[in-house]
Amino acid sequence: MSSYDDPRWYEQPKADERYRSTPDEQFNLSSAANSNTSNHQKASTDDPPPNKGRGLGQIFGQIVVTVTLMIIAFLGGWFGHQAFSTSYFNPSNQSKSYANLIQQAWNIVDQNYVDRKAINYKEMSYQAISAMLNVLHDTGHTRFLTPRDVQAQHQQLSGSLVGIGASVGQDTKTGQIIVTSTVPGSPAEKAGIKSGDIIVAVNGESVVGKDQNTIIGLIDAGSAGTSVSVTVKRSSTNQVLTFKMIREVIKIPSVILHYITEDHIAHIQITQFSDGASAQLRTALNQAKKLGAKKIILDLRDDPGGYLQEAINVASELIGKGNVLLEQDSTGQRTPDPVDGHPIDTTTKIVVLVNHYTASAAEIVSGALQDNHRATIVGTKTFGTGTVLDEFDLSDGSAILLGTSEWLTPDGQFIRDQGISPNVQVQLSSNANPLTPNAENQDHMTLQQILGSGDTQLVTAITYLQSH
C-alpha cells in the first residue's frame, strides 16, 4: 500500500506535539495552578511573619540557586531547539520523514539564502512539485499544471479554444513547422493558409529554428478579437505569403469524415476524446452509411487522448459485447469496464491507424478493438500511457494530474511504457505527414490522389481493405 494511503501520515502526532496538552487541558492546568497559588497565599497568612534579618549566606544561596536554574533553563531550551529543529528521521514512516525533509530544506533556504531577491516561492514550489511527479515514471501523463495550463486543458477538452484554427507539425529532419490542416470555417482557412505551408515568421519576427510549442504559443497568445500575422513559405509555388488574421473562439470538431467514393471507404479521424466525441462519431458513422460506406478507416494518429468515458462510449459503438478495458488499482485489484450495450455498427470491416503519438484514451480504443477482434491495427507502436488520470486541484488554481489506476487491454495486456503493437507495422517516412480527412475535404482529393500522397500508413489501410 502506498505510504500516502497510510492514515498514520496525518493522524500520528508530531514528536514535539505528542505530549502537548489540548487547549482544554491547558485551561484546566492553568486553573489548577491558579488554585494552588491562591491556597498557598491563603495558607501563608496564618504563618508567623518571616525573619526580617536574613543572613548573607541565605541570600548567596538563593542567588546560586537562581543562576543555576537560569543555566539549566538556557541549556534545556538550546537542546530542545536542536532536537525539534532537526526533526527525527523515522525509517519506518518514510512518507512523514521525507515530507519533513522537504519542509526542512524549504526553511533553510527561506531563512538563510543570501540573495533575497532571487527567492521565487511560486517557482520553487512549482519546480518541486514537478520534480516529485517526474520521479513516478508516468511520462507524458501524470504531471503538474499551472493555473494557465489548467485553463487551457479544460478549454481543449471542451472542444474549443482561442486561436486561428491551424494544426501544425514539426518535421523531424528539417525542424520546420508545417501546417497539417485547418479547422473548417476558422480564420486560418478563410485567410487562405493551406496544408503544407511552412511557418517562417509570426508578427514579423522570424521563428526559424524555434520549437513547435513556442510557435504555437506566439500564434495563440492573445484573446479573441486580437490580431496576429503569420508568414508562411508555400512549397508548391515557392512563394512567401503573409496572412493577417483575427483570433476567434474556435470550435474544434473531435471527429472528421472524408468519404472515398471510389472504394466506398469512410476515412474517419478522431482528433481527441474531448467532451462529445462519441456523439460526433455516431453522427459520422450514420452519415457514412447514408453515403454508401462499406468499410471504415478509423484514424487515431496524433490523438493525445482525453476523457476515459468518451473512450468507453466510442468503443461501445463498434463492439457488441465484452470489455473495453480493465482498470487495476494500487492493490492489484482489477475491475472490468464493459461496453455499454448500445452499438450502432458491429460488422463493418475496420482498420485503425495509429502512430507513436496515439496516446491514452486513443490507446484504450485501439486495444479494445484489437483484443475483441473487431479491427486490424496498422501503423507504429503507440505512446504507452497506461494510467487513468484524476485531477487534484491545488489552492492557487494549479492542479496535479495523477495516475490513480492503471489500465490494461481486455486480454490483460499492460500498456504503460509498452503501447499497442499494430497487427501491420508501417512506418511513415520522415518527410511525410499523416493525411487527414480535413485536408482531403479541403483539396477534394480523389482515391488516386490519396494513394499518391506519400502517406504510406493510410495507403496500406486502403489496400488492406481492398483485399479483404
Q: CATH no. for residue 213?
A: 2.30.42.10
Joined together, the cell numbers standing for residue 387 give: 494510467
Contact 465, 351 (CB under 8 A): yes
- In tens, the pLDDT along 333-347 reads 999 999 999 999 999
Residues 307 and 404 in one domain: yes
Three-point CA angle 33, 39, 40, nearest 5°: 90
Position with higher pLDDT, 168 vs 342? 342
Q: Is 143 within a domain?
A: no
Q: Which of 193, 226, 251 is the last residue of a domain?
A: 251
Q: Which of 70, 86, 119 is the last residue of a domain?
A: 119
Q: Is 36 within a domain?
A: no
Residues 262 and 313 in one domain: yes
Give percent above pLDDT 70 in the chain. Answer: 81
Residue 6: domain span: 1-14+58-119
Average pLDDT over residues 251-261: 93
Lowest mean pLDDT segment, chosen from 132-146, 173-187, 280-294? 173-187
Position with higher pLDDT, 191 vs 61? 191
Q: Which of 202, 221, 251 is the last residue of a domain?
A: 251
240 phi and psi, to 5 degrees? -110, 120
Contact 323, 374 (CB under 8 A): no
- In tens, the pLDDT along 193-224 reads 987 899 999 999 999 988 887 898 899 888 89
Contact 220, 162 (CB under 8 A): yes
Domain count within the chain = 3
Q: Is 280 within a domain?
A: yes
Residues 205 and 277 in one domain: no
Residues 271 and 237 in one domain: no
pLDDT at 21 over 60: no
pLDDT at 409 over 70: yes
Q: Is 142 within a domain?
A: no
Position with higher pLDDT, 324 vs 12? 324
Residues 301 and 436 in one domain: yes
d(CA 381, CA 206): 35
- Res 89: pLDDT: 75
Position with higher pLDDT, 220 vs 299? 299
pLDDT at 69 over 90: no
- Res 426: pLDDT: 98
Q: What is the largest CA-CA distance in the chain?
A: 124
- Alpha helix segments (H runs only) across 352-391: 361-371
d(CA 437, CA 268): 7
Position with higher pLDDT, 29 vs 328? 328
Residue 351 confidence class, pLDDT cut points 50, 70, 90: very high
Contact 264, 297 (CB under 8 A): no
CATH of the domain at 285: 3.90.226.10
Residue 59 confidence class, pLDDT cut points 50, 70, 90: low
Position with higher pLDDT, 150 vs 327? 327
Average pLDDT over residues 358-369: 96
Contact 128, 102 (CB under 8 A): yes
Residues 114 and 200 in one domain: no
Residues 216 and 365 in one domain: no
Residues 225 and 361 in one domain: no
Residues 302 and 355 in one domain: yes
d(CA 459, CA 465): 10
Joined together, the cell numbers standing for residue 118 give: 532571487
| Three-state DSSP state, 125 | helix
pLDDT at 113 over 50: yes
- Res 247: pLDDT: 95
Q: Is 66 within a domain?
A: yes
Lowest mean pLDDT segment, chosen from 168-172, 288-292, 376-380, 445-449? 168-172
Give percent above pLDDT 90 in the chain. Answer: 59
- Res 172: pLDDT: 65
Residue 74 confidence class, pLDDT cut points 50, 70, 90: low
Residue 250 confidence class, pLDDT cut points 50, 70, 90: confident
| Count of CB atoms situated within 10 Å of the CB of 39 | 10
- Alpha helix segments (H runs only) across 147-276: 147-158, 187-191, 212-220
Residues 380 and 409 in one domain: yes
d(CA 374, CA 278): 17
* Mean pLDDT across the chain: 83
- Res 295: pLDDT: 98
Q: Is 137 within a domain?
A: no
Residues 240 and 269 in one domain: no
* Beta strand 177-182 pairing with 198-202: antiparallel
Concatenating the DSSP letter of every residue in 94-111 gives HHHHHHHHHHHHHHHHHH
Residues 246 and 272 in one domain: no
Q: Is 52 within a domain?
A: no
26, burial (CB in 10 Å: exposed 0-12, middle 13-18, buried 19+): exposed
Please tell me what DSSP assigns to residue 52. Answer: S
Q: Is 153 within a domain?
A: no
Q: What's this model's pTM, rounded to 2 decimal places?
A: 0.68
Please tell me what DSSP assigns to residue 87. Answer: P
Average pLDDT over residues 277-294: 97
* Residue whose grid cell is 484514424: 299
Average pLDDT over residues 39-66: 48
